[in-house]
Amino acid sequence: MSGDTSITVIGNLTADPELRFTTAGTAVANFTIASTPRAFDIERNEWVDGVTLFLRAHIWRGAAENAVGSLTKGMRVIATGELKSRSYETKTGEKRTVLELEVEEIGPSLRYAAAAVHGSSRAAVDAAEEERHSEEIHPVDHFSLSARGYTNDDLWFGMDANPAGRISTTRPQDPEPAY
């Protein structure tokens, strides 16, 4: 993904997302986002709509299934992902290129609506396994502890780094107490 064009689009879905599956069984949801820019016309003293961008988009795997179950036609969404070009040939032999959004994240906009978020059972299981696994590898994150957890018996307590980033080897005689 490095070097790809990442964008965020805010707009309305033109239809319900369509869920399909590849021959390998991978879920993909396809949909179109209509995004219309607005500008204030000072002379007319009103908001004026610009030209609407209709952007085809797709999202993969579990997120595709979540999108189909959560998003509907007309819903205002915020989508972020990679802008990709795809070339194809029509039945009449014409070569065409289209721009599509390969969505990484999508959700409803809360500007004009409210939403209730419910974690999917599979996502909850994956998150719990990930958390358990990360605790096995990194039992304690020492950098998140407050200074109160460190005292004079800690090798690094009271030592300062010089501008080069090296630790001073002399320890203060009367360090301030740990709070």
Query: Which domain range does residue 110 map to?
Result: 5-114
Does position 179 have pLDDT exceeding 70, yes or no? no
Mean pLDDT for the chain?
79
- Do residues 109 and 150 both lie within one domain? no
Q: Is residue 173 part of a domain?
A: yes
Query: Can you tell me the mean pLDDT for 16-31?
Result: 96
Does position 22 have pLDDT exceeding 70, yes or no? yes
In this structure, are strands 53-60 and 95-108 parallel, antiparallel, or unpaired? Answer: parallel
- The string of pLDDT tens digits covering residues 55-78 is 999 999 999 999 999 999 999 999
- Do residues 43 and 89 both lie within one domain? yes
Show Cβ contacts of residue 120 under 8 Å, excluding neighbours closer than 6 positions. Answer: 62, 66
Q: Which residues of 20-51 are buried (b: 16+ CB within 10 A; e: fewer)?
A: eeeeeeebbbbbbbebeeeeeeeeeeeeeeee
Number of domains in the chain: 2
The span from the CA of 58 to the CA of 98, in Å, is 13
Positive or negative torsion for Cα 174, 177, 178, 179: negative
- Do residues 110 and 150 both lie within one domain? no
Output the pTM of the full model: 0.64
DSSP letter, residue 164? T
Percent of the chain with pLDDT over 90: 59
